[in-house]
């Protein structure tokens, strides 16, 4: 039996703001979307240029309260060949929420508070 890892889902409160963040901060682009016939939800799938994995953003029309992320111990991770350039961009966006210089990594936070680890390609 063979499985392929295809996507992670996160729920977002403001879809347009999240789409803008993921495009600007990580260069992800919309691959496809699905909207419920009654407009109660929208699913948007984002991916990088390799298109081997996607992030599914779920927007729920009737949701108005921020999502409870608990201790926020679960996170996504992205690596980059342009670590210093990425750091400067994320600093300019005021998105950096935690840095660990000893490990050579940092985290950014999206508009809903999800943490994303940024790692230099090694």
Overall size of the chain counted in residues: 122
The yes-or-no verdict on residue 81 having pLDDT over 90 is yes
CATH architecture type of domain 7-62+75-120: Roll (3.10)
CA distance 108 to 98: 7
Whether pTM > 0.85 for this model: the answer is: yes
State both tokens at 81: 């060949």
Give the strand order in the sheet containing 29-35. 7-12, 54-60, 41-47, 29-35
Q: What percent of the chain has pLDDT over 90?
A: 93
Q: Is the pLDDT of residue 93 over 90?
A: yes
pLDDT at 71 over 90: no
Query: Would you call 92 helix, strand, or coil by DSSP?
Result: helix
pLDDT digits (tens, 9 = 90+) for 32-55: 999 999 999 999 999 999 999 999
List the one residue out of 60, 35, 31 whose CA is nearest residue 46. 31
**pLDDT grade, residue 74 (50/70/90)?**
confident
In the structure, what pLDDT confidence band is assigned to residue 122 with cuts at 50, 70 and 90?
confident
Q: How many CB atoms lie within 10 A of CB 7?
A: 13
């Amino acid at each position: 039996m063979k499985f392929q890892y295809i996507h992670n889902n996160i729920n977002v409160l403001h879809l347009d703001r999240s789409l803008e963040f993921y495009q600007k901060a990580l260069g992800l682009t919309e691959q496809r979307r699905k909207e419920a016939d009654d407009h109660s939800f929208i699913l948007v799938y984002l991916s990088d240029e390799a298109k081997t994995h996607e992030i599914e953003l779920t927007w729920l029309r009737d949701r108005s309260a921020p999502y409870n992320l608990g201790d926020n111990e679960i996170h996504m991770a992205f690596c980059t060949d342009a670590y210093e350039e990425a750091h400067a961009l994320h600093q300019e966006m005021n998105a950096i929420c935690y840095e660990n210089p000893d490990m050579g990594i940092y985290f950014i936070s999206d508009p809903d508070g999800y943490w994303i680890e940024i790692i230099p390609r090694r």
